[in-house]
Amino acid sequence: MTGAVPPRSWASRLFEPRRLGRQAPATRVLVYAGLLFWTFVVLFPFYWLLVTSLKLPIHVADGPNYLPFVDFTPSPHAWHYIFVEIGRDTFRPYLNSVIIAGASTALAVVVGSMAAYALARIDYRPKLGTIGLFVVALAAVVVAVIAFGVPWQLAAVAGIAVFVFLARALAGRFRRSVGNGDILFWIISQRILPPVVAAIPIYVMFQQLGLLDTHLALILTYMTVNLPIVVWLMYDFFASIPTDLEESAQIDGASRYRIFFDVVLPLAKPGLAATSLLVLVLAWNEYLLALFLSTVDAQTMPLLVSAQNATRGPQWWYMSVLIVIMILPVTAVAVALQKFIARGLLIGAVKG
Amino acid sequence: MRIRLDRLSKSFGAVQVLHELSMTVEPGEFLVLLGPSGCGKTTALRMIAGLETASGGRIFIGERDVTDVLPKYRDVAMVFQSNALYPHKTVAQNIAYPLVLRKTPAAERDRAVREVARQVQLDALLDRYPRQLSGGQRQRVALARAMVRRPAAFLMDEPLSNLDAKLRVHMRSELKHMQHELGVTTVYVTHDQIEAMTLAHRVAILNQGRIQQLGTPREIYNDPENLFVAGFVGSPPMNFLEGAMRNGAFAGPGFGLNTPAAAHAGAAVMGVRPEDCRTVAAGQGRIEAEIYATELTGDHTLVTCRIGEQFAVVKMDKNYEQAIGTPVGIDFDVDHAFFFDAASQGRIRMPTTPAPQSA
């Protein structure tokens, strides 16, 4: 690596990593100014929230007051209202949010990463004809139940029997098949649909099942909605783990499950941490489906926040308190997971 | 334990990579599968390990037919080209993993790990992680992990190819010594003929999914079965001169050679190794040529000679010096010349000159 350094374009030089300590003082000042400015942009909304939560309605109506004790006298009024006056009504949705977001995230990550691993390691070649057959059988069951009043248990059993029989009989005749890429695209395509389109059918389904306003309904819905994201993200992480490692474990005597839990999951930790965090935040902040599926017992925090915008207009001071306490646990989780979201875990596994 | 392959075939879709491969690896033998990339040697190894299924034929380890047995029940250990160490486990945990999976008691496991770590000189590094090790150390961990459970056979897929040249030579002798000590049947895949010649008890040369020759390194070198083996083994490679054989004589470009009692007639190729040739004054050798280039490699000089439209390399002393373009003669012992059928690429054997056996 001796000899002349090849000339670099100004564009490539612009993106080269450089040590701040080596820069000229003027450059350093500029860099710090930029960083400080961006820190301000990021942190100001938090400050605003905190300040607003300490204001009385009259201060909010007063216009932009930012500095407590200077512009206005802080008051614990809103905090007192949220924690004491309606304390029980705050605590319940808070607990609901924790349960629903936590459980749905855990389920989505476990189920999704297993699905992603399977897709990353096993070649599936489902025949197009078999898939078509399944759709036809499903449609026949639905028609039989709705139009002809066949008991649904009977229809389901008959439908499965017909499908299995025909699939076995005709499998040899089907030629065209789809691969893992198609399955992956089909999974992520679930997210192309705007959720509001699915909201009404989901509502009707849980109504029929008698599960409206329960934790279970929201957990299942959130898990389903977030599964495609988990599968999509984790697929990439699993695909990047060298297969040599798994084959080596296989020869050393490990079963598929052992390989998944002993070798693959520890190496996918950064991906798991990042994916869990993303899915947790999505479930924690979800509003639309919660609005449909919960009323009182399973009400979540986003609904409580929006409920502060009632007949008396938006009550910013109460909202601010709720949002502050809503942000805290997610921030704590993000900080806790930070150390896992580090790269370079695979160094030393294989050469290079 | 003995490993026996019986007409083993493998196809990936329409491409057949192994054609009815049959061979037997004797207990304690070090067998090297040697061949150019894409010849099917790694596929064959992976099939013995159970990482690929057989399209046809059977695999036996000992007396047991393992063709349809999962890798974990075959009792073989494999060393991968990439080491394949578990990066989240320490050296000790890496080595112990096969024993952990076999539910070996912890005390016994610790003893085995220590013992094997001492053998490959890793005792001081047991608490390190793979990322903190050098390439050679990582390779030794991979070896230790394979050795720790005394498998029926070692399978090695180019284990030294990621090391630098100096370390490779060192690890090669370590490997040979270790295999000798342990006496475990070993199948070793490489494309490096030096590795094959130095390590193997026997070498199987593969090309396009077929065994070209199976024999001791000496047999392979001194008595190649066909043109491919003759050209693949040896560095610099054997010289090939095209010509024709008629009435017990080989007619090459501008020279003739008596080949007593050779029954073959038609296009043929003569092969002679560079170290079996020498250059002599013009008019005094068997072949007339002129010097095309000379290359000093250190302990000898490679002289490339032009014979009409063909070229031959002669290995000469390190002090050899001649100007390019000088006419010279090339001389060699007829016993050291090999003849091959140009069409079938097979060896044409001389009934009267017995094939030079191991000296």
Q: Give yes or no for a contact between B30 and B56, defined as CB atoms under 8 angstroms apart.
A: no
Q: Give yes or no for a contact between B12 and B48, defined as CB atoms under 8 angstroms apart.
A: no
Instruction: Flag whether residue A255 sits within 8 Å of chain B, measured between CB atoms.
Output: yes
Q: Give yes or no for a contact between A322 and A57, defined as CB atoms under 8 angstroms apart.
A: no
Give the containing element (helix H, strand E) for A157.
helix A152-170
- Express each pLDDT in B335-356 by its tens digit: 888 888 888 888 888 765 555 5
The one-letter code for the residue type at A312 is R
Angle between helix axes A215-239 and A195-209 (nearest 10 degrees) is 130
Q: CA of A242 to nearest chain B CA: how many angstroms apart? A: 8
The ranges assigned to domains in chain B are: 3-222, 236-348
Residue A127 is given by DSSP the state B
Which residues, at least 6 apart from A234, have a Cβ–Cβ distance to it below 8 Å? Answer: A112, A113, A116, A117, A268, A271, A272, A275
What whole-number distance in Å separates Cα of residue A154 and Cα of residue A141? 9
Q: With 0.90 as the threshold, say if the pTM is over it.
A: no
Domains of chain A: 94-120+180-338 (1.10.3720.10), 126-177 (no CATH)
Q: Identify the closest residue of chain B to A344 by CA–CA distance.
A: B131
Q: Quote the pLDDT of residue A4.
A: 54
Provide the Cα torsion A23, A29, A31, A36; round to 10°: 150
Q: CA of B77 to nearest chain A CA: how many angstroms apart? A: 6
Q: Give yes or no for a contact between A349 and B86, defined as CB atoms under 8 angstroms apart.
A: yes
Q: Give yes or no for a contact between B336 and B346, defined as CB atoms under 8 angstroms apart.
A: no
ipTM entry: 0.81
- Using the beta-carbon criterion (under 8 Å), do B78 and A245 form an inter-chain contact? no
Using CB atoms, which residue from A254, A266, A349 is nearest to B72? A254
In terms of phi and psi (left: phi > 0; alpha: psi -120 to 50; beta: otherwise), the region of B187 is beta
pLDDT by residue for chain A (352 residues), tens digit each?
Answer: 444 556 667 777 666 667 777 778 888 899 899 999 999 999 999 998 999 898 888 888 877 777 888 878 888 888 888 888 888 888 999 999 999 999 999 999 999 999 999 999 988 888 888 888 899 999 999 898 888 888 888 888 999 999 998 888 887 777 788 888 899 998 888 888 888 888 899 999 999 889 999 999 999 999 999 999 999 999 988 988 888 899 999 999 899 889 999 999 888 888 898 899 999 999 999 999 999 999 888 899 999 998 888 778 888 888 999 999 999 999 899 888 887 775 544 554 554 3
Instruction: Flag whether residue B78 sits within 8 Å of chain A, measured between CB atoms.
Output: yes
- Express each pLDDT in B39-48 by its tens digit: 889 999 999 9
Domain B3-222, CATH: 3.40.50.300
Q: Identify the closest residue of chain B to A258 by CA–CA distance.
A: B101
Q: CA of A230 to nearest chain B CA: how many angstroms apart? A: 23
Q: CA of A18 to nearest chain B CA: how many angstroms apart? A: 25
Domain B236-348, CATH: 2.40.50.140
Angle at alpha carbon of residue B264, lines to B263 and B270, rounded to 5°: 120
3-class DSSP assignment, residue A22: helix
Give the containing element (helix H, strand E) for B329.
strand B327-332
- Cβ-Cβ contacts under 8 Å, A249 against chain B: 86, 97
